Amino acid sequence: MSTKRVVMAGMVVFVYTFLYQVAMHNFVLGSMYAENEHLLRMQDQSGAIYALLMFLGFFLMSFGFSYIFAKGYEGKGCLEGIRFGLLIGVTFGVSNALVEYSVFPIPDSWIGAWVIGYLIQWILAGLIVAGIYKPKS
């Protein structure tokens, strides 16, 4: 396992995940959220601690994702990245969306958007990590 490539992949996935989440939740799903503002934390309650927790979550996801990929690395290129991203997307993204849907009174439209969004997010992250982690030719 190359620690240097794991760290590099983790940093790139961290930036990618942050930008993807901002785009997904603000631009793609923003109008759905606006229709149900009563289910979300109010803007005046969104302080520095929540931003810090969000960044910590993205950090843990990104570096954990990159580390797990490296531990199971088989050298199969892009298809390995797609497979890994799909597995992580289902294991964490889809399952988390289903749990949140069963616990919180969120609209049906959110669950479909989250499932699709998280699958796309993690498949693309898998491609990124596979591209960074590929052996030098």
Q: pLDDT tens digits, residue range 37-61?
A: 777 666 666 677 888 898 999 999 9
As a 3-state breakdown, the chain gives helix, strand, coil percent values, each rounded to 5, of: 80, 0, 20
Structural contact between residues 39 and 29, judged by C-beta atoms closer than 8 angstroms: no
Q: pLDDT tens digits, residue range 71-103?
A: 998 888 899 999 999 999 999 999 999 999 999
Tell me how far the alpha carbon of residue 94 is from its chain's centroid.
Answer: 11
Q: pLDDT tens digits, residue range 2-24?
A: 899 999 999 999 999 999 999 99
Cα–Cα distance measured from residue 74 to residue 134, given in angstroms and rounded to the nearest whole number: 10
The per-residue pLDDT for 96 is: 92
Cα–Cα distance measured from residue 115 to residue 14, given in angstroms and rounded to the nearest whole number: 20
Q: DSSP letter string over 40-71? A: S--GGG--HHHHHHHHHHHHHHHHHHHHHHHH
Cα–Cα distance measured from residue 101 to residue 134, given in angstroms and rounded to the nearest whole number: 37
How many domains are contained in the chain? 1
Boundaries of domain holding 48:
3-133
- Per-residue tokens: 130: 């596979």
The per-residue pLDDT for 32 is: 77
Q: pLDDT tens digits, residue range 64-75?
A: 999 999 999 888
Using CA atoms of 16, 101, 60, 56 in order, give the dihedral in degrees to the nearest 10. 90
- Per-residue tokens: 82: 């797609």
The per-residue pLDDT for 44 is: 63
DSSP annotation of 38: G
The per-residue pLDDT for 33 is: 77
Minimal CA–CA distance to 128: which of 1, 5, 31, 41? 5
Is it the case that residue 107 has pLDDT exceeding 70? Answer: yes
Q: pTM (2 decimals)?
A: 0.87
Is it the case that residue 28 has pLDDT exceeding 90? Answer: no
